[in-house]
């Protein structure tokens, strides 16, 4: 592997416990096992020389690549088209189920559609982010790569038997390099398996085809449960599948992204590990999935969230902002100095030092999700409500203090307006839940603090000179997070204070429909360098425009955003000034906000036509 592909030149496959990225030319350059947050086995995405990869590609011929998903599934098809013929690699991971396991399969089926081609197969694992050495054992019917803590088995599919017995095999250095020739109608490939309990074996073509059919049918049955029938259905459903791929089935937790270290600025140092579950993301996911009718997924997310609320409430402490997929909270951050980083963007980090920050807004997002789920019949237990009461009581005592904010500033804490806004939401939703079901709680006290927060935001969070709500008290910096003020019910869309805020954001944070979170130069966040526009903020902007009656502007902005998705309708975290996708990929925030904006905008467009 010689060059770093663009971040957007990847597709995502997964089995609901881990995932892999496949480049547009058929190389697996990111794969962690046995979980999303486990050390990488293939990590060339972060170091092309030391990271490791698994590549299958035509050898000795000029070809072009095309890539698509099998409709309504995350089964990825990479097509090679040349004068000598046409071939396809079909990549997928059979779903593992809801019990945690170390055993995961990555199936790579190569089918020769017409003509004949010689393929080069390279399997070069690098265990533990390239820090561990491994041995290659050549077996009668396959290969075993043995690292200190994990084994990787390569099981050839039947029609590549010459890969096992032929002379075109190089196994020096613990890596496997082979060449095979496929003729029209041939099916070959390999099944890569972690922690296999059996010796390598040749996989019959029929068995591989059965795995394909089972995986296809699982995803199509799942997607059939969607009740979304509005505009932009393909984009919405692809986002739903992507979010499902980033869900850890045993716990129901959703990770922010399946990658670490992908930069927000090429060559810069804003490179974070997103393979964890944020309270914020999980709460937003409830809104998105309930909007599509995925009640069971929303229920699983709420079960996970309820458990975190119960833990916090029992200990009278705030929620942590993020956890591992199993609910543990040890996220010690370290730098992998031996990796050069994507296109030289260092340092590469694992773990996340923001995990212990105080971010007051997450309580509002959690209570808002609980309130919405309750409206859909997903009720919390008595025990969880008792913990919720203790958490809300804690918030009453602690909302009026500086924190790190939604953007996880590593500079000094501030009195962030968004943090106050979502603290208001937390108290408001707790009051509504108590009233709806007659549940106990210090409602009068909660209402008093809710009203105090409202008054404080209006007095200190609105800058009279700018005629806008601002990022933090006493400053004049704009912040795109405030775009959600109308959607949470804090202001009405026709309020003059809100309209002037939206106009200010229009003029300062929006460029050709793309929205920055804030201007780092205006609001130092303790980090060097710059970043791109933030996809979630752009989708929030769409919803804000729509709710403010600017439906044509909202629709144009929304459909412009489609031009920034990759060839598979996937989004990273941000868009750079050159139009490239940057940041971890794909990003849950981007796809969550796409779904919620699509639902809001579609409903408002329908309503406007009826009127």
Give the integer Cα–Cα distance in Å for 491 and 335: 43
Does residue 60 carry a pLDDT above 80? yes
b/e code 265-292 from CB counts within 10 Å (16+ = b): bbebbbbbbbbbbbbbbbbbbbbbbbbb
Give the integer Cα–Cα distance in Å for 596 and 539: 8
Counting the structural domains of the chain, the total is 2
> In this structure, are 93 and 126 located in the same domain?
yes
- What is the model's pLDDT at position 163? 42
- What is the model's pLDDT at position 22? 98
Tell me, what CATH number does 470's domain have? 1.50.10.10
Q: What is the pTM of this model?
A: 0.95
Q: Which of 334, 329, 303 is nearest to 315 (CA)?
A: 329
Question: What is the average pLDDT value for the chain, to the nearest integer?
Answer: 93
Give the integer Cα–Cα distance in Å for 284 and 296: 15
* pLDDT range class, residue 525, cuts 50, 70, 90: low
Q: pLDDT, tens digit, for every residue of 237-257?
A: 999 999 999 999 999 999 999
Q: Do residues 265 and 330 lie in contact, with contact meaning Cβ atoms separated by under 8 Å? A: no
Does residue 596 carry a pLDDT above 60? yes
Q: Residue 441's beta-bridge partner residues?
A: none
> In this structure, are 264 and 174 located in the same domain?
no
* pLDDT range class, residue 1, cuts 50, 70, 90: low
Give the integer Cα–Cα distance in Å for 583 and 565: 13
Q: Do residues 261 and 346 lie in contact, with contact meaning Cβ atoms separated by under 8 Å? A: no
User: How is 73-131 classified by DSSP, letter by letter?
Assistant: S--EEEEEEETTEEEEEEEE-----SS--S--EEEEEEEEEEEEEEEEEEEE--HHHHT
Does residue 120 carry a pLDDT above 50? yes
Give the integer Cα–Cα distance in Å for 394 and 537: 30
- 206: containing domain: 10-223
> In this structure, are 145 and 245 located in the same domain?
no
- Within a domain: residue 604? yes
> In this structure, are 153 and 113 located in the same domain?
yes
b/e code 390-422 from CB counts within 10 Å (16+ = b): bbbbbbbeebeeebbbbbbbeeebbbbbbbbbb
Percentage above 70 pLDDT, the chain: 96
Q: Which of 341, 340, 330 is nearest to 271 (CA)?
A: 341
> In this structure, are 241 and 277 located in the same domain?
yes
Q: Which of 453, 483, 480, 470 is nearest to 414 (CA)?
A: 470
- Within a domain: residue 4? no
- Residue owning tokens 């059965």: 210
- What is the model's pLDDT at position 565? 97
- Within a domain: residue 2? no
User: How is 560-579 classified by DSSP, letter by letter?
Assistant: HHHTTS-TTS---SEE-TTS
Q: pLDDT, tens digit, for every residue of 155-198?
A: 998 754 444 333 466 667 789 998 989 999 999 999 999 999 88
Does residue 76 carry a pLDDT above 90? yes
- What is the model's pLDDT at position 560? 97
> In this structure, are 252 and 169 located in the same domain?
no
- Within a domain: residue 228? no
> In this structure, are 204 and 269 located in the same domain?
no
- Within a domain: residue 129? yes
Q: pLDDT, tens digit, for every residue of 139-148?
A: 988 999 999 9
Residue 342 Cα to chain centre, angstroms: 18
Q: Between residues 527 and 373, which one has the greater pLDDT? A: 373
- Within a domain: residue 370? yes
- What is the model's pLDDT at position 140? 86
> In this structure, are 268 and 380 located in the same domain?
yes
Residue 146 Cα to chain centre, angstroms: 30
What pairing do the DSSP bridges indicate for beta strands 63-69 and 76-82?
antiparallel
- What is the model's pLDDT at position 526? 58
Tell me, what CATH number does 152's domain have? 2.70.98.10
Does residue 576 carry a pLDDT above 90? yes
- Mark which of 198, 223, 248 sits at the end of a domain: 223
> In this structure, are 291 and 183 located in the same domain?
no
- Which residues, in sequence order, are CB contacts of 510 under 8 Å at separation 6+? 541
* pLDDT range class, residue 611, cuts 50, 70, 90: confident
- Within a domain: residue 215? yes
> In this structure, are 157 and 264 located in the same domain?
no
Q: pLDDT, tens digit, for every residue of 580-594?
A: 999 999 999 999 999
- Within a domain: residue 35? yes
Q: Report cis status (omega within 30 of 0) of the bond before 151.
A: no
> In this structure, are 198 and 312 located in the same domain?
no
Q: Report cis status (omega within 30 of 0) of the bond before 383.
A: no
> In this structure, are 541 and 433 located in the same domain?
yes
- What is the model's pLDDT at position 482? 96
Give the integer Cα–Cα distance in Å for 13 and 36: 12
């Amino acid at each position: 592997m010689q060059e770093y592909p663009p971040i957007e030149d990847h597709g995502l496959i997964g089995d609901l416990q881990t995932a892999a990225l496949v480049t547009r030319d058929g190389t697996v350059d990111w794969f962690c096992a046995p979980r999303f947050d486990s050390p990488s086995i293939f990590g060339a995405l972060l170091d092309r020389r030391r990271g490791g990869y698994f590549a299958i590609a035509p050898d000795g011929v000029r070809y072009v690549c095309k890539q698509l998903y099998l409709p309504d599934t995350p089964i990825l098809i990479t097509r090679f088209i040349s004068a000598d013929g046409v071939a396809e690699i079909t990549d997928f991971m059979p779903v593992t189920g809801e019990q945690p396991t170390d055993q995961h399969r990555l199936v790579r089926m190569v089918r020769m559609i017409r003509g004949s081609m010689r393929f080069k197969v390279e399997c070069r694992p690098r265990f533990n982010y390239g820090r561990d050495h491994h041995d290659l054992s050549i077996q009668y019917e396959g290969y075993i790569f043995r690292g200190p803590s994990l084994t990787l088995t390569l099981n050839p599919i039947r029609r590549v038997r010459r890969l096992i017995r032929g002379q075109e095999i190089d196994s020096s250095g613990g890596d496997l390099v082979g060449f095979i020739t496929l003729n029209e109608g041939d099916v070959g490939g390999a099944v890569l398996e972690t922690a296999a309990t059996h010796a390598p074996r040749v996989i019959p073509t029929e068995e591989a085809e059965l795995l394909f059919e089972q995986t296809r049918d699982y995803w199509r049955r799942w997607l059939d449960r969607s009740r979304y029938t509005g505009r932009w259905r393909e984009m919405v459903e692809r986002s739903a599948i992507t979010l499902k791929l980033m869900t850890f089935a045993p716990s129901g937790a959703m990770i922010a992204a399946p990658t670490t270290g992908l930069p927000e600025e090429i060559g810069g140092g804003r490179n974070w590990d997103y393979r964890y579950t944020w309270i914020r993301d999980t709460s937003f996911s409830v809104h998105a999935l309930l909007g599509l009718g995925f009640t069971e997924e929303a229920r699983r997310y709420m079960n996970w969230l309820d458990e975190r609320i119960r833990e916090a409430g029992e200990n009278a402490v705030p929620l942590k902002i993020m956890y591992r997929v199993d609910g543990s909270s040890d996220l010690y951050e370290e730098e992998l100095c031996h990796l050069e980083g994507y296109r030289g963007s260092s340092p590469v980090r694992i773990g996340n030092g923001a995990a212990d920050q105080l971010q007051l807004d997450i309580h509002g997002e959690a209570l808002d999700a609980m309130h919405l789920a309750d409206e859909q019949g997903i009720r919390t237990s008595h025990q969880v409500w008792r913990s919720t009461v203790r958490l809300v009581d804690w918030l009453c005592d602690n909302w009026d203090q500086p924190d790190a904010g939604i953007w996880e500033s590593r500079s000094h804490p501030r009195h962030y307006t968004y943090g106050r806004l979502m603290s208001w939401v937390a108290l408001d939703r707790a009051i509504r839940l108590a009233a709806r079901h007659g549940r106990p709680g210090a409602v009068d006290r909660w209402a008093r603090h809710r009203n105090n927060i409202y008054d404080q935001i209006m007095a200190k969070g609105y800058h009279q000179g700018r005629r806008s709500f601002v990022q933090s008290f006493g400053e004049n910096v704009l912040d795109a997070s405030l775009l959600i003020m109308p959607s949470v019910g804090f202001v009405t869309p026709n309020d003059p204070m809100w309209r002037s805020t939206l106009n200010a954001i229009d003029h300062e944070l929006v460029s050709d429909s793309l929205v920055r979170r804030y201007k780092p130069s205006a609001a130092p966040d303790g980090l060097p360098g710059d970043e791109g526009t933030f996809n979630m903020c752009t989708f929030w902007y769409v919803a804000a425009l729509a709710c403010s009656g600017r439906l044509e502007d909202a629709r144009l902005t929304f459909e412009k955003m489609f031009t920034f998705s990759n060839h598979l309708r996937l989004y990273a975290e941000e868009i750079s000034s050159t139009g490239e996708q940057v940041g971890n990929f794909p990003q849950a925030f981007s796809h969550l906000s796409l779904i919620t904006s699509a639902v809001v905008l579609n409903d408002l467009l329908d309503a406007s036509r009826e009127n």
